[in-house]
Structure 1
Amino acid sequence: MPLSALLNWRLHALVAAVALLSEFIGIQRLPLGPGTLLLLPLFYAFILGVLLNPHVTRTAGRVVPLSVSDAAGPLTLLAIMPFIARFGSTIGPAIEDLIDAGPALILQELGNLGTMLIAMPLAVVVFKMGREAIGATYSIAREPNIAVISDKYGLKGPEGIGVMGTYVVGTMFGTLWFALMAGYLTSLEIFDPRALAMACGVGSGSMVAACSAAIAGTLPELKEELLAFSGASNLMTYATGLYLSLFVALPIAEKLYSLLAGKRQAKAVGAQVSMPTEEAPSSAPEEERPERNLPKTAMAMAAACAVAWVANTVNGSDLITALPGMLILYVMTMLGLIITRFAPFYLPGVAWVSLVSIVMTLPWFPGNAWLIDQLSAVNFLAIVTPVLAYAGLALTRRELGMFRKAGWKLVIIALLVFTGTFLASALIADLLL
């Protein structure tokens, strides 16, 4: 795509406005039975992006040019890179805690593979879903998992539709689901409560908080111990989750899908979703990969970081205070993409960006204390809000058709994904304890 399209001022201005509005609304807590439904700015940004998408409504098409939607696709991948850098920067300072966490915390992370063991067979065999089942079931579909799918397949294909579907369901209902599930299982006294606490460490802050609070509320006499286990597990998930998803869960999901669907069914599904015959569903996304044209990427990344910088002013810090932190994230991101371009072996850009940020924030890295202090001014979740606005604007009619075709199924699949993750993690931790 031409640089002029990636620097489309209407797109970036619209995303900045949507992100600011979403951040101003903030987190809304809606009581629902014994739990609370959390609505996050990320969710509002995605919905507003969809409503403003000229491919979705005729009203939006009168004021938002199609070029804005076309340019939003590549920007989705670029805009999530600074978040990946911020994500990695939380791991480096806690490296000693991760080392001390012990084998139970490490091995229970394999329970995350339970996402697909329950949900994938139902998705493929019962619901006859195509490759969207891979994106929907390989993880709990939080931001780093979206980044993996975006980098490997792009968000324009069925895998992207699947992961975004699970993400939206998780954003709306995931917190409540984990809270209700954790509290109920604790009351049954089947698992060691410490194992259930470790199973709460799924990587999403709101899910972890609701899950651990439900367990601690059931057993108040063990509150401090249970919260400590939950926090350590969450830290381990941040450290290993991206790589477990990339190198273990996603390849297993590919093989399990092939086994369940078979070659003929896979081809039939590909025809149903109108994939071009010359493009295999698992091929790289059509848009140019960011590391292939670094000068163009550097300018587009600067625009994406500027939008995130503005969005951060509501629930983060003011522009002057957050400027050094955003510049650090920009440098980390570009260093990761430069390594991606010239490394003798291939790793996705998200992996290299994460590794760069981890190394630069390790306790023994020169100046790490200053780096961490500057990054603290950048709100962890605020810089993701624009990403979801880009994603909502980037949807095309073809993608919306795919989502409508499998939408109600994705709700059921997503809830099974969350259940499989929690139960598998709890079971492994319980056996080790």
Structure 2
Amino acid sequence: MEYENTIAAAGGPADGTLKRAVSGKDIAIIACCVAVVSIAAEYAGNMTFSVGITKVTLFPFLWALLACILVSVAMKRMDGTGLDYIRTQTLASDFVQIGILLFIAKLGFIVGANLQKVIDAGPVLLLQEGGNFLGTIVLAMPVALLLGIKREAIGATFSVGREPGVALIAERYGLNSPEGRGVLAEYVTGSVIGAAFMAFFASMIAHAGWFTPTALGMAAGIGSGSMTAAAVGAISVQYPEAKDTIAALAAASNLLTTVVGTYILVVFSLPVSNWLYKHLEPLLGRFHRAIIVQHDKTVQDAMGGMHAQAQLPAWAVALTVVITALIALAGNQVTAKGPISANWLGMAALVVCIAVGLAISALARRLRVPSIIWVSLVGVLISVPASPLAAIVNPAVDRIGLLPLVTPVLAYAGLSLAKDLPILRALGWRIIVVSLLANAGAFLAGAMIAQAFGG
């Protein structure tokens, strides 16, 4: 069954929400591929090597990402119709946003169990949030202009380009505008290689020893679940004795970024980006490069509207959560080396946390609060010391590692790549460099502010 968008007039929900019909065959292909690749990647393990004066650790989720990219390209080349592969890969990209909820739930449990540490770090956490947004602009905007990028630079550098940023630019300028092409460039780059880059960059910075583990943990929460996961994993390898503190502070920071981030984008980031562009472009912008970031109509139709507010049906979301949980549980067994029966309860608790969070999100739809907030808060409430469930659930969830939860998610991202190759070719290397600099700037600025104020 092909993807199709339906609305109320065609039997969809009365509120006009777009629904996407899903093929069981596509789900089976994705599940089998990601399961094999993810478990193999966990067996491959970590690899640490020197880069100049510092070191970098590469993780199983990077091997899963790279392997699934190869599978994705092979799918495209083997597809005789030239379009069938797009349905599977679009579904894989949807799975990224669903699968990351397991990681978000785990972070919620970590925050709850370490709530006092988060409270003690509260003032510094709030201050370093400014770095998450200012750092993207200060580092990436001048480079973008020196490379000859015009107003695309505003969309690509005013934030790390996750969903709130895309929505804001779409409302203000439209996605077919230069600003829209810039934020779309940042979104695609971040989705495809953002997590891998953050793992590499955070590992390099952590090995350098410039910042404390707490400052690095705060800086890791830049508003993207997958990038936060990658950064936390990289930092925790360098500071294993502080891994819970790092994860708790990153989760709290990411929660703050998500909750207040949209408002900061509106009142601070976008106006500052426009102001900087107005004053710096005449000085630094010497070249012009037209960047066209748009799928042709045939591909858009095959995707079922890549940027439409399309939703997967509830059963598909539930199935995706369960599939991802089972894959992550198998991967966790490779790293934990314990009996699988001891880990079932922890993974089941994360799945229940997601189910409750998504149910609250559906009931409170008018509040327009992202579902990841509800999932995270449910995890916090279950795991705080005052909770009657904490004594039973927290030790079980603690047996589930962070990184095995991320590996299948990055595998989904890699599997979705080939459909976006035309966009990546159109973007060119310049906009990709700028996008990665924006992510690096957010991390570095957050770490510097946290360190300066006692993080």
Alignment TM-score, normalising by the size of structure 2: 0.71
**Aligned-residue offset at 1:383:** 1.2
Question: Does 2:334 match 1:314?
Answer: yes
Aligned length: 389
Shift in alpha-carbon separation, 1:97–1:408, aligned structure 2, 3 A: same
**Aligned residue runs from structure 1 range 264-303, under 5 A:** 272-274=292-294, 285-286=307-308, 288-290=310-312, 293-303=313-323
One-letter code of the match for 1:50? I
Shift in alpha-carbon separation, 1:17–1:253, aligned structure 2, 3 A: farther
- Deviation digits for residues 94-150 of structure 1 (CA, Å, limit 9, x no counterpart): 1122223363455344333333132342365344277697577635xxxxx968779
From 75, 82, 106, the equivalent of 1:86 is 106
SS at match of 2:50: strand
Hey, what's the Cα distance between the residues in 1 that align with 2:373 and 2:152?
Answer: 23
- Identity across aligned pairs (percent)? 20
Residue 56 of structure 2: aligned partner: 37
**Aligned-residue offset at 1:197:** 6.1
Structure 2 spans left out of the alignment, 5+ residues: 1-19, 171-182, 221-230, 282-287
CA contact (8 A) 1:149 1:159 kept: no
Residue 385 of structure 2: aligned partner: 363
One-letter code of the match for 1:112? N
Residue 249 of structure 2: aligned partner: 236
Residue 116 of structure 1: aligned partner: 136
Residue 351 of structure 2: aligned partner: 330
Hey, what's the Cα distance between the residues in 1 that align with 2:157 and 2:450?
Answer: 23
Question: Does 2:225 match 1:205?
Answer: no
Shift in alpha-carbon separation, 1:320–1:4, aligned structure 2, 3 A: farther
CA contact (8 A) 1:48 1:392 kept: yes
SS at match of 2:72: coil
**Aligned-residue offset at 1:12:** 0.1
One-letter code of the match for 2:342? T
Residue 175 of structure 1: aligned partner: 203
Residue 46 of structure 2: aligned partner: 27
**Aligned-residue offset at 1:92:** 0.3
CA contact (8 A) 1:200 1:212 kept: no
Larger mean Cα displacement after TM superposition, 344-353 or 124-133: 124-133
- Deviation digits for residues 327-376 of structure 1 (CA, Å, limit 9, x no counterpart): 11111111111111111411111111111111111111121121111112
Question: Does 2:69 match 1:50?
Answer: yes
Shift in alpha-carbon separation, 1:102–1:335, aligned structure 2, 3 A: closer
Shift in alpha-carbon separation, 1:421–1:78, aligned structure 2, 3 A: closer
CA contact (8 A) 1:76 1:387 kept: yes
- Deviation digits for residues 138-186 of structure 1 (CA, Å, limit 9, x no counterpart): 35xxxxx968779999xx9534213234333222343114544x54xxx
Shift in alpha-carbon separation, 1:256–1:341, aligned structure 2, 3 A: farther
Hey, what's the Cα distance between the residues in 2 that align with 1:320 and 1:432?
Answer: 42
Alignment TM-score, normalising by the size of structure 1: 0.74
**Aligned residue runs from structure 1 range 133-148, under 5 A:** 138-139=159-160
SS at match of 1:383: helix
Residue 142 of structure 1: aligned partner: none
Shift in alpha-carbon separation, 1:133–1:19, aligned structure 2, 3 A: farther
Hey, what's the Cα distance between the residues in 1 that align with 2:434 and 2:144?
Answer: 13
SS at match of 1:243: helix
